[in-house]
Amino acid sequence: MTDQLKITDLDLSAYVDGELDADRAKAVEEAAARDTGMAARIVAYRADKKALNDIYAPLAENPIPSAWIELARAVPSPAARARRSWRLAGIAAAVALVVLGGLTLYESRYKPGPRADVVETALNARNAGTAEKSVSVANLVEARRYDETLRGIIGINIHVPALDSLGYQVTGLKFYEHAAEIEYRDGKGHLFTIYLTPSDGNIRFDQFERDGLHVCVWQDDQLASVMAGTISAAMMQRLASMTYLGLTT
């Protein structure tokens, strides 16, 4: 197997973030020089990183408070969660994910492996769910006309997140009795979905592959979200952080 075949999307993401050692970075550069597709992905990841930096610059330019880092690294106790705003917890975790540079700190502490519950429900909804109401939209402005419906179902103050800076336009929403799904498509028509439902109260972060889909579960004590798409782990990292922050800001 060549070095080029061994290079993964996570390697490319780490290369863009300057986290590879010199030998590995050189291997990536040499492979990219031979492979125009790999070179294009590096350019795309750099553009993604710049988009996130531009969006979150007011937060990212300041040192991350130590309390925020601890929040991102440790599963809080039920008592601590009761004292903490769900929105603050989400923002702290998402900013730490963006600024600290990836999923590593989560994967070592929050990765118990996929469970059946909300994941199965979300993927069934994505594939063949019969919604109580489905709407098609042409843009974010149209989608946000349904924010009140979204809030009524989930029970917290959220709205449709904007993902256009990462190349995904919102195209539709589906509403169920206790859940909602927001649909996005990229320029090639690839589907990315965000399934939202009230949380069971547990804190959870998983990322894994299932039947050709990359799936990310991001759950706090009030909101459970399941994101799915035929995308790389690196792109899921970016979409997940933008989604979680975008739901509330």
Instruction: Report the alpha-carbon distance of residue 195 to residue 226 in Å, rounded.
Output: 5
Q: Judge contact between 193 and 181, C-beta under 8 A.
A: yes
Which CATH superfamily is 78-246 part of?
Answer: MucB/RseB, C-terminal domain (3.30.200.100)
Residue 224's DSSP bridge partners are: 197, 219
Region of poorest pLDDT, from 18-27, 80-89, 210-219, 240-249: 80-89
**Count of Cβ atoms closer than 10 Å to residue 105 Cβ:** 16
Q: Cα 245–178–139 angle (5° rounding)?
A: 50
Q: Judge contact between 168 and 239, C-beta under 8 A.
A: yes
pTM here is 0.63
pLDDT single digits (tens) 16-49: 878 788 888 889 888 888 888 888 878 777 776 6
pLDDT single digits (tens) 157-208: 999 999 988 889 999 999 998 999 999 999 889 999 999 999 988 888 888 8
| Sequence ranges of the domains in the chain | 3-53, 78-246
